[in-house]
């Protein structure tokens, strides 16, 4: 069973929701860099204060900050048996850093589940989420910027994982449970 996983997909593709379901299935934690940053911001830590300006504009938090946070989180006891990364890596350099972090323990990513969703649905889904969750970075101009950053910085990592034979594409259209079932099938949790 694959237990060191990356979840890929544009903002609003359901990575967070699917990550939580998969976490319950596999008994391993999700590691969401967005959630870790939001927690740091809510607690007003130095890291949170630094991240805030980037997040509010829809830009990526600098790699130096993000990579150190991920390295520390993956070193926690509960991540030893596996983890589901949601929102990391988000650019090609982060793919390499993640590889190095794991390689020091003789480990590697075993699969990259990529949620695929038509572009025109994404903005609507994010605006709907904004009205439910009230996330400060879910306003329309910031959503547009996050999508531009996604295309420019994050989308290229799909090809990187594909070329390594790790990419597991999943149709992200449908209900939460339909998509969850597709993920279980590509990961061979169910037949």
Q: What is the phi/psi pair of residue 113, to 5°?
A: -80, 120
Least distance from ligand AMP to the Cβ atom of residue 59, Å: 6
Q: Can you tell me the distance from the alpha carbon of 5 to that of 16, in angstroms, rounded to the nearest whole number?
A: 13
The reply to whether 11 sits near ligand AMP by the rule CB under 6 A is yes
> Nearer to ligand AMP by C-beta: 12 or 82?
12
Residue 73 touching ligand AMP (CB under 6 A): no
Q: Considering the rule CB under 6 A, would residue 146 count as an interface residue with ligand AMP? A: yes
Q: Which of 5, 7, 28, 61 binds ligand AMP (CB under 6 A)?
A: 61
End-to-end CA gap in the chain? 13
The reply to whether 90 belongs to the active site is yes
Among 90, 109, 122, 138, binds ligand AMP (CB under 6 A): 90
C-alpha triplet 107, 152, 145: angle, nearest 5°: 115
- In the list 8, 28, 47, 55, the residue contacting ligand AMP (rule: CB under 6 A) is 55
* Distance separating alpha carbons of residues 147 and 86, to the nearest angstrom: 16
10 Å Cβ neighbour count for 75?
12
111 binds ligand AMP (CB under 6 A): no
Which residue out of 4, 38, 90, 182 is catalytically annotated? 90
Helices (H), 31-190: 33-43, 46-57, 63-74, 92-103, 119-133, 140-149, 156-163, 176-186
**182 is known as an active-site residue:** no
For residue 191, give the 3-state DSSP assignment.
Answer: coil
Instruction: Output the smallest distance, CB 191 to ligand AMP, in A.
Output: 31
**Considering the rule CB under 6 A, would residue 33 count as an interface residue with ligand AMP?**
yes
Q: Which of 125, 129, 162, 184 is catalytic?
A: 129
Confirm whether 185 is a catalytic residue: no
DSSP state for residue 59 in the 8-state scheme: P
Q: For the stretch 47-64, what's the b/e string if a residue is b when 16 or more beta carbons lie within 10 angstroms of its beta carbon? A: bbebbbebbeebbbbeee
Residue 162 annotated among the catalytic residues of the structure = no
| Binding of ligand AMP by 60 (CB under 6 A) | yes
Q: Which residues bind ligand AMP (CB under 6 A)?
A: 11, 33-34, 37, 54-55, 58-61, 66, 87-88, 90, 94, 137, 146
What residues are annotated to the active site? 15, 90, 129, 135, 146
């Amino acid at each position: 069973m694959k237990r060191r996983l990356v979840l890929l997909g544009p903002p609003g593709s359901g990575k967070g929701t699917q990550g939580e379901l998969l976490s319950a299935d596999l008994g391993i934690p999700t590691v969401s860099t967005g959630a870790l940053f939001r927690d740091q911001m809510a607690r007003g830590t130095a890291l949170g204060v630094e991240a805030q300006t980037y997040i509010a504009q829809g830009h990526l938090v600098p790699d130096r900050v993000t990579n150190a946070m991920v390295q520390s989180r993956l070193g926690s006891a509960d991540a030893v048996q596996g983890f589901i990364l949601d929102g990391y890596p988000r650019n090609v350099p982060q793919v390499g850093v993640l590889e190095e972090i794991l390689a020091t323990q003789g480990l590697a990513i075993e699969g990259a589940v990529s949620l695929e969703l038509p572009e025109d649905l994404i903005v609507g889904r994010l605006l709907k989420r904004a009205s439910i969750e009230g996330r400060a970075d879910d306003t329309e101009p910031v959503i547009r910027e996050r999508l531009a950053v996604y295309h420019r910085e994050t989308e290229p990592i799909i090809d990187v994982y594909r070329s390594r034979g790790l990419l597991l594409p999943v149709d992200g259209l449908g209900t939460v449970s339909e998509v969850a079932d597709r993920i279980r099938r590509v990961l061979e949790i169910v037949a």
